[in-house]
Amino acid sequence: MIEVRNLSKVYQSGEIAVEALKKISFTIEDGEMVAIVGPSGSGKSTLMNLLGCLDTPTSGSYFLDSTDVSKANDDELAEVRNNKIGFVFQKFNLLARDSILHNVETPLIYAGIKKKERKERATSLLNKVGLADRLDHNPNEVSGGQRQRVAIARALVNNPSLILADEPTGNLDSKTEAEIIDLFHELNSQGHTIVIVTHSEKVAQQTNRIIHILDGELVKDEVVLG
Amino acid sequence: MILETFIIAVRSLNSNKLRTLLSMLGIIIGVGAVIAIVSIGTGSQQQITSNISDLGSNLINIDQGWRHRNSSSTEFTLEMAEYIELTSPAVKKVLANLEASGLLIKEEINLRATIVGTEGYYQEINKYYPLIGKFIDKAAVDNASDVIVLGSELATELYGKQNPLGQKIKFNYNDNNFVFTIIGVMEEKGRGITGDLNDQAYIPMSTYMNKLANSNQVSGFIAQANSSKDANEAVEQIEYFLSKYLGDDDQFRIRSQDQILDTISSVTESMSLMLGGIAAISLVVGGIGIMNIMLVSVTERTSEIGIRKALGAKKRDILTQFLIESLCLSGIGGVIGVGIGYLAAYLISNIGGWPFVVNSLSVMIAFTFSLLIGIFFGIYPAMKAAKLAPVDALNYE
Ligand SMILES: Nc1ncnc2c1ncn2[C@@H]1O[C@H](COP(=O)(O)OP(=O)(O)OP(=O)(O)O)[C@@H](O)[C@H]1O
Ligand SMILES: [Mg+2]
């Protein structure tokens, strides 16, 4: 469960301070599928980085499964990212020089899991996203849609409760976008909480709930009626 | 976990082989140079040492001291050889140095040569024997015969491939001509500390004193101690006798072969120490090269670091990954450097003609040093990588 209270983020660059998030508060229950929408520069990525424990808030608190992670140190945050969160990025962010299999194994290495089990789990997930025959390829040898599938397999490999996707279909065509969103639906039905930042009205409409952000403030929290 | 990090690091080095090799180059050259230089130093020193001890480490040179040249003072005389033998129990035998420089004349050829007046014992002392014919023997000394033994170089220059035995040769000294019959030619002998023996000729000491020089003054002595262990004692006894006999310590100078050896060793040692030091500096420069490459690598791979952190890598994981990379660079570079050092030392010792010896201590020191350099110059880039904030690293363009 995600519980955000008066979360603020100020970027200080020299004299100029940019208030990217202004005392934002909301709660996301386990098993929800939420879209975050808003115009460019409204603070969506800033929010996602905080939710993903990639960055720390300037003020406010963030409870993830009832622990206050806004007060955790770097190594504790790394552990939270490793155990509880799976990331899917717009730019895929795969390790370019490693094989697809190895990319998916990487979170398990940092979790301290043995080679044999790593390989089994990574292979079975790549199988699930339809890339069983590409294990030894490098990411640059497959298409954009396939890369995002690799990223999703990687996000899932540690069986995290929360999956954060910042414009996961931003670099994909609409057919591939539909396939990826289907994949997210499937994961959501298996119990993963999913938060997607998107510019696509169509994608947003396929979730359960849409959080609207404008100038760093939550302006509308609507429930989507399927 | 360390093993996994190690694999990650090796894979990343492997994916850019040319750069990996280039960044190792400094270490390779540094380690190679240290090993080669120390080996060349030890090898050539062993060569010089064995040349000198060929002459016998129980030999002692006695020269006239510096004051002799400035003031009228007591000359060395032949009898002193006997006196030294009698008064110094540690001394087995004393030979006088009787040397004269003049022209050897055979028909139209004439050659400047040093003629040494000596006796049969000269052979044993210098471990230097005739190749053909015989050396000056007791009969020749007793009769003051007009016989001569040529050094190998003199023989070839004067007679080429002809047999010189039995031939007569003239020696011009102080505007007088003396005629000698050749009775032997010496074997070839490498240059020792006493200079080139191959262009000397030998006549009986009695002939030298009675006919050639007409005096019993000698320039110095070579004393042979009973054994090399006795050499120091012999030096003391000779010193004691000479200072009493000549009444002045400045009239003479005594050096054992060991002392000469020590001087030469300390010279070559400080030589190779200095060169080794220069090589060690190149090792440090190699380390800076590694740091440079690692810093570039960290900047270049900022987004990789960001991704790894997003996936759960802790500071420690990133730190060890980059540290292992620089350690591998310096370690592998060190191993290659050891190989190249061996090869270079081997080739150069072959060319220089001295024994091929590699000091295993120098190998260990050079290799350990290269690893230390890997850690020292790798730690800063690795810390820089480990400290990157995940968001900043991920968004780095
Ligand atoms: N590292 C940073 N330093 C300074 N300002 C920043 C930084 N990151 C974001 N900002 C500012 O914070 C505000 C919110 O940025 P953010 O990236 O969260 O927007 P966004 O909603 O994700 O936009 P987009 O839809 O274009 O991705 C912007 O005004 C942006 O310029
Ligand atoms: Mg954004």
Average pLDDT for chain A:
94
Q: Say whether both B72 and B122 belong to one domain.
A: yes
Q: Say whether both B218 and B298 belong to one domain.
A: no
Give the residue, out of A46, A167, A197, with the most ligand 1 atoms within 8 A of its beta carbon, to mutate for a pocket test: A46
Q: A29: CA distance to ligand 2 center in Å?
A: 23
- pLDDT given at position A61: 95
Alpha carbon of A143: minimum distance to chain B alpha carbons (Å): 20
- H/E element, B109: strand B109-118
Put simply, the answer to whether A107 touches B391 (Cβ < 8 Å) is no
Mutate to test the interface with A, among B311, B316, B325 (most CBs of A within 10 A): B311
Residue A61 lies in a domain: no
Smallest-distance ligand from the CA of B395: 1
Give the residue, out of A8, A36, A45, with the most ligand 1 atoms within 8 A of its beta carbon, to mutate for a pocket test: A45
Which residues lie closer than 8 Å to B119 by C-beta, 6 or more apart?
A: B95, B136, B138, B141, B204, B205
Residue among B296, B279, B293, B273 nearest B374 (CA)? B293
Put simply, the answer to whether A52 touches B310 (Cβ < 8 Å) is yes
Residue B217 lies in a domain: yes
Q: Say whether both B209 and B327 belong to one domain.
A: no
Nearest CA in chain B to A94: B307
| Range of the structural domain that residue A151 is part of | 30-56+73-223
| Range of the structural domain that residue B379 is part of | 2-51+263-394
A79 touching chain B per CB within 8 A: yes
> Nearest C-alpha to atom 24 of ligand 1 is from which residue?
A40
Q: Say whether both B38 and B71 belong to one domain.
A: no
Select from B11, B303, B394 the Cβ nearest to the Cβ of A54. B394
Mean pLDDT of A168-172: 90
- pLDDT given at position B191: 58
Q: Say whether both B68 and B216 belong to one domain.
A: yes
Please spell the DSSP secondary structure of B51-93, one letter per residue: HHHHT-TTEEEEEE-THHHHS--PPPBTHHHHHHHHH-TTEEE
- pLDDT given at position B357: 86
- pLDDT given at position B55: 62
Put simply, the answer to whether A95 touches B307 (Cβ < 8 Å) is yes
pLDDT per residue rounded down to tens, chain B (397 residues): 788 888 888 888 888 888 888 888 888 998 998 888 888 888 887 877 777 666 666 888 888 876 555 554 567 888 888 899 899 999 998 988 888 888 999 888 888 898 999 999 888 888 889 999 999 999 999 999 999 999 998 999 899 888 999 999 999 998 889 999 999 999 987 655 455 778 899 999 989 988 888 777 788 888 888 887 788 888 889 988 988 888 877 788 888 777 777 777 788 778 878 888 888 888 888 888 888 888 888 898 899 999 999 999 999 999 999 999 999 989 999 999 999 999 999 999 888 878 888 888 888 988 898 899 889 999 999 999 999 999 989 988 7
- pLDDT given at position B229: 79
> Distance between CA atoms of B300 and B325, rounded to whole angstroms?
15
- pLDDT given at position A41: 94
- What's the CATH code of the domain at A215? 3.40.50.300
Put simply, the answer to whether A110 touches B317 (Cβ < 8 Å) is yes
Put simply, the answer to whether B314 touches A49 (Cβ < 8 Å) is no
- H/E element, B94: strand B91-106
Q: Say whether both B38 and B64 belong to one domain.
A: no
Q: What is the pLDDT of residues A23-82, one digit of tens each?
A: 999 999 999 999 999 999 999 999 999 999 999 999 999 999 999 998 899 999 999 999
Nearest CA in chain A to B304: A95
Q: Say whether both B194 and B268 belong to one domain.
A: no
Q: Say whether both B157 and B39 belong to one domain.
A: no
Smallest-distance ligand from the CA of A199: 1
Residue B238 lies in a domain: no
Alpha carbon of B10: minimum distance to chain A alpha carbons (Å): 12
- pLDDT given at position B193: 47
Residue A8 lies in a domain: no
Tally of structural domains, chain A: 1
- pLDDT given at position B192: 52
Q: At which of B174, B197, B226 does a domain end?
A: B226
A106 touching chain B per CB within 8 A: yes
Q: Say whether both B72 and B215 belong to one domain.
A: yes
Select from B306, B312, B389 the Cβ nearest to the Cβ of A82. B312
A106 contact residues in B (CB cutoff 8 A): 308, 311
Look at chain A and count its residues.
226
What is the CA angle B179-B185-B191, rounded to 5? 115
Select from A55, A106, A112 the Cβ nearest to the Cβ of B311. A106
Residue A161 lies in a domain: yes
Residue B237 lies in a domain: no
Return the ligand 1 atom nearest residue A49 CA: 18
Residue B235 lies in a domain: no
Give the number of beta-carbon pairs within 8 Å between A and B. 64
Residue B169 lies in a domain: yes
- Give me the residue label for tokens 């169509």: A202
Select from A75, A82, A87 the Cβ nearest to the Cβ of B315. A75
Residue B232 lies in a domain: no
Tally of structural domains, chain B: 2
Residue A24 lies in a domain: no
Q: At which of B197, B226, B255 does a domain end?
A: B226
Q: Show the ligand 1 pocket: residues with CB < 6 angstroms.
A: A 11, 13, 18, 20, 38, 40-46
Residue B44 lies in a domain: yes
Amino acid B395 reads N
Q: Say whether both B72 and B180 belong to one domain.
A: yes
Select from A54, A79, A95 the Cβ nearest to the Cβ of B390. A54
Residue A123 lies in a domain: yes
Q: At which of B173, B202, B226 does a domain end?
A: B226
- Give me the residue label for tokens 């302006």: A219
**Is there a contact between B388 and B381 (Cβ–Cβ < 8 Å)?**
no
Tell me the three state secondary structure of residue B289.
Answer: helix
The residues on B that touch A, with CB distances below 8 Å, are: 1, 4, 8, 11-12, 15, 303-304, 306-317, 389-391, 394
Cα(first)–Cα(last) distance of chain B, in Å? 30
B12 contact residues in A (CB cutoff 8 A): 97
Tell me the three state secondary structure of residue B191.
Answer: coil
Residue B193 lies in a domain: yes
Smallest-distance ligand from the CA of A42: 1
- pLDDT given at position B54: 64
